[in-house]
A and B are shown apart, each in its own frame.
Chain A
Amino acid sequence: MFSGRLNLIDRPVAKGKSEISLSAFSFLFSEMVQYSQTQVSNIGELERRLEDAGYSIGLRLLEMLCFRERNSKREIKLLDALKFVHSTVWKYLFGRQARDLEQSNTADDEYMISDNDLFVNKFISVPRDMGQLNCAAFVAGIVRGVLDGAGFPARVTAHFVPIAGQPRPKTTILMKFDASVLQRDLRLPSS
């Protein structure tokens, strides 16, 4: 077993296949949602469990992507970190960049990333008594892990936003940053 372990460490950080089977993921994710459902008693807790599952993924994803894609450079400004999530992380997860990255009009510390059809929700239909449950809370958890690890603590949630003229609503990931993040961002010399 000792020599087996050495091999694991000796292997290079492999790129791996960039595509996995959608059905495999859907089965796994549906099991995850069902399992979480048995453990909780309300919608908010269910979303929180999905978010926590995504959080640990986000931490590891941050390290891995910075090593591979960014050639070992960190992000120190808020906007750069958001752009990192919007392009690099989304590309790794979904194969394309996210649709929008916008700042909320009402609050200074809120930013939104929106996308049309996340495959996470592809095979999920939410019954009416579950209200506004959005299983993209899993993706929100991943984003929270990435931002938290990079030093930008935030509250990240996923919402459905209906769009005029389209049958299906788009999914918006809303990020509300701590006050300390904004203060630090103001203090930094802007490039």
Chain B
Amino acid sequence: MATGTVLTFVIVGHDDHPIFEADLTSRASDIVNRDDRAQYLHQFVLHAALDAVDEQVWTTTSMFLAQVDNFNQLRVSAYVTAAHIKFLLLHDGKNEDAIKAFFKDVYEVYLKVMMNPFFTPNTQITSPSRICLHAKINQEHAKSSVYPGAWEQDLFVKASMDGSLPGSPSVTKNMRMAKQQQ
């Protein structure tokens, strides 16, 4: 298992169920070799951190909660929006300012998704808005990560495997580019 920066990002709605999940681990390795068990563990840790978030929510007016919980060397940071939607990020505590900026960018993208009158709050964020959200997150984080190339590659291959993207021309072009880079 290749080691890289461990990052899992979840948006949690009101009833403590996730409405958006993203695994942002920067791995240059193949998608198929991704360790599913580690992914489940990360999601479990994030879910357990929700209690700690609930405690801290009513103590401060700021939206960014730096560290709500930790698990071995991994830390959980949270960002609670005005409508009490929680953004949770599992990371290894390297760069707090980058994480704060990341949350702020995700908040902006989430705001745009939410302004859609056809989007019921607290429901799953599905494609194509999800794909755009994912793309935006990866773009933003790729600027600060060490492996920029792996992100776009991961994103488009994963999106095509999800089967959630129709065969639109720009996507197939990127897939071809990704395949050429391999």
Q: Give the B-binding residues of A (Cβ under 8 A).
A: 1-3, 5-6, 8-13, 56, 59-60, 62-67, 70, 72-76, 149-151, 184, 188
Contact = CB atoms under 8 A, between A and B. Distances in A.
A63 B63 contact: no
B58 to A, nearest CB: 5
Contacts of A13: 108, 111-112
A62 B83 contact: yes
20 contacts: A6-B132, A8-B132, A9-B109, A10-B136, A13-B108, A13-B111, A59-B121, A63-B111, A64-B111, A64-B115, A66-B82, A67-B82, A70-B82, A73-B62, A74-B61, A74-B62, A74-B81, A76-B57, A188-B58, A188-B59
Contact of A3 (B84, B112, B113, B170): B170
A63 B129 contact: no
Given A13-B111, A60-B114, A74-B81, 18 more contacts: A5-B132, A6-B135, A9-B109, A12-B108, A56-B121, A59-B83, A60-B115, A62-B83, A63-B111, A66-B82, A67-B108, A72-B63, A72-B104, A73-B62, A76-B58, A76-B60, A149-B83, A188-B58
A143 B112 CA distance: 21
A74 B108 contact: no
A74 B112 contact: no
A69 to B, nearest CB: 11
Contacts of B108: 12-13, 67
B171 interface: yes
Contacts of A3: 170
B128 interface: yes
Contacts, number: 82
Contacts of A67: 82, 107-108, 111
B168 interface: yes
B164 to A, nearest CB: 12
A63 to B, nearest CB: 5
Contacts of A70: 82
A62 B132 contact: no
Given A8-B112, A76-B60, A76-B61, A149 B84 contact: yes
Contacts of A60: 114-115
Contacts of B104: 72
B89 interface: no
A56 B129 CA distance: 19
B83 A150 contact: yes
Contacts of B171: 2
Interface in B41-70: 57-64
